[in-house]
Amino acid sequence: MASVIPKEVKKEIVDGWVAETTWKVCLLTTGFTYVFGTHNTYATLTNEVFGAGYTAGGKILTGRVGGYIETINHRINADDTSWPGATFANVRWVVVYETTGGKIRAVYDLTGYPYSVTSGTFTVQWAAAGLIQIS
C-alpha cells in the first residue's frame, strides 16, 4: 500500500510551526544522551552548556520562515545562530524548542563532536535546505 501526505497538509504543518510562539536554540554537552519519549520539552533536558557568552536557555531563533521548494518539499528555515565572545567546551547537541511550553521541535547530534570555542564565536549554521524538512 502506498502512503502519501498531500502537499497541502505538509504546508499546513510548516505554516503552523512558523506561526507558533518564539523558538529558541540551546546547546547541550557530551554528557547528555537523547532518549525518545523522555526528552520532549526543554525542562527534560540536562547538561546544558555553561560558559562565557552562553546564557541558560540558549538564544532566540531569528528569521524563521516556511516555504516550499520543489526539489526538497516543505521546510522551515532560519538565520544561523551565533554566540559571540564564547568560551565553552564539549558541545554535542543542538536543540530547537518553543518558549511557550518548551516543546522540542528538533534535536541535532553534531557530527564530529565535541566542539569547543575559546574567546571566539560559536555558530550553528543551518543547512541550505532548512533546519526542518518535511519530504
Q: CA quadruple 26, 27, 32, 35: dihedral positive or negative?
A: positive
Q: Is the pLDDT of residue 2 over 60?
A: no
Q: Compute CA 69 distance to the chain's CA centroid, rounded to the nearest angstrom.
A: 20
User: For residues 18 and 28, what is the distance between their CA atoms, to the nearest angstrom?
Assistant: 24
Give the model confidence (pLDDT) of 72-84 as tens digits. 678 888 999 999 9
Determine the pLDDT at residue 19: 77
Determine the pLDDT at residue 72: 66
Cα 124–125–130 angle (5° rounding)?
120
Q: Is the pLDDT of residue 13 over 90?
A: no
> Torsion-angle region of residue 49: left (phi > 0), alpha (psi -120 to 50) or beta?
beta
Q: Tell me the mean pLDDT in the region 88-96.
A: 95
Q: Compute CA 25 distance to the chain's CA centroid, rounded to the nearest angstrom.
A: 5
Identify the bridge partners of residue 76 per DSSP, sorted by sequence position. Answer: 66, 132
Phi, psi of 17 (to 5 degrees): -65, -40
Give the model confidence (pLDDT) of 28-74 as tens digits. 999 999 999 999 999 999 999 999 999 999 999 998 888 777 766 78
Give the model confidence (pLDDT) of 106-126 as tens digits. 999 998 888 999 999 999 999
- Which pLDDT band holds residue 5 (cuts at 50, 70, 90)? confident
Cell numbers given for 71: 526539489
Q: Is the pLDDT of residue 90 over 70?
A: yes
Where is pLDDT greater, at 34 or 131? 34
| pTM given for the model | 0.87
Contacts of residue 6, defined as CB under 8 A and 6 or more positions apart, other chains included, come to none
Where is pLDDT greater, at 15 or 100? 100
